[in-house]
Amino acid sequence: MTVSSQGLLPHHASGEIRVTAPSLHFLTGKSLSRLHDGAAVPFDFQLIIASGSKNNVVARALERFTVSYDVWEEKFSVIRVRDFRKSGMRLSANSAESWCLDNIFLPAGSLPLDQQLWARLEIRAAEPREPLATQADSGLNLATLIEIFSRPSRPQQDRWSLESAPFQLASLKP
């Protein structure tokens, strides 16, 4: 599944660029069924900022969030794989989706203030048997995530892609 619209809203606060996407719901369909069955479903996120043109990528953030659904409490839990200490517990589906977006961001310091920018967010649900590529001490292997997003998604794989309208860093609201 792909959502490609200008429903991605960038924000600038505390020197970081974050995004919100009110129309985005990725805890749906096959992934949601797996979650309700008690499985942990990893979602790979890529947030890109392009400058000048949409293909000129100047900043990129990659994260993997593992979502699971507590079969007793009927609430979602999210863990940022890069850092197990960062987690959201007892969340509704919408809150779990928002939590993921809140926890992927880019430093604004390296971005040009006066040029036109675009933000793009890509999400892929990992396949059930896709290796987590975690490392016991350092969490997620970043190279693995880059490799994941550099290859085309599988036909059956759930994926979402959103773009923002063009914006300038100076004009962004917190």
Partner 1 sequence: MKLVLILALAASALLGQTDTDQATDLNVNSRYIIESISFLDQRNYKLSTSALEDIRRLVGAKVNTEALDRLSQRIRAELRAHEVTFKLMRGEAPEAVRVLIHVDQAAGVLDASVPKLMYNSRQGFTGVGEVAATAGPNALTLRMLRDSDTLIEHFSGVQAKYDWLALDGGRIRLGFEFDAYQDQYDSATLAALDGASRPSSLGAGVYGSRLNYEPSATFVLAAPLTLTVGLGFEELSSLPTAARPVSANSVINTLRYHQRWTGSGGNKQELDAGYNLRAATTLLGTDLAYTRHLAQARYSYSRDAQSVEVTIVAGAICGQAPLFERFSLGDSAMLRGWNKFDLDPVGGNRLAYGSVTYGYHIMRVFYDTGSVWDPGKAPELKQSAGIGVSGGLGVFEKGAFLLAVAFPFRSGPVIPVLIAGMNF
Q: What are the residues binding partner 1 (CB under 8 A)?
A: 37-40, 42, 66, 68-72, 77, 79, 81, 84, 89, 128-129, 132, 134, 136
Smallest separation (angstroms) from partner 1 to the CB of 39: 7
Smallest separation (angstroms) from partner 1 to the CB of 19: 24
Smallest separation (angstroms) from partner 1 to the CB of 59: 27
Count the alpha carbons within 13 Å of 95 in the hemisphere toward its beta carbon: 11
Sort 173 into a burial class: Cβ within 10 Å, 0-12 / 13-18 / 19+. Answer: exposed
CA distance 142 to 122: 16
Cβ proximity to partner 1: between 39 and 143 the closer is 39
Pick the closest to residue 23 from 11, 35, 6, 1 (CA basis): 6
Cβ proximity to partner 1: between 17 and 96 the closer is 96
Run of H or E including 80: strand 76-80
Residues 90, 51 contacting (CB under 8 angstroms) = no
Smallest separation (angstroms) from partner 1 to the CB of 86: 12
The first and second tokens of residue 16, run together, are: 């970081």
Cβ proximity to partner 1: between 127 and 142 the closer is 127
Cβ proximity to partner 1: between 52 and 128 the closer is 128
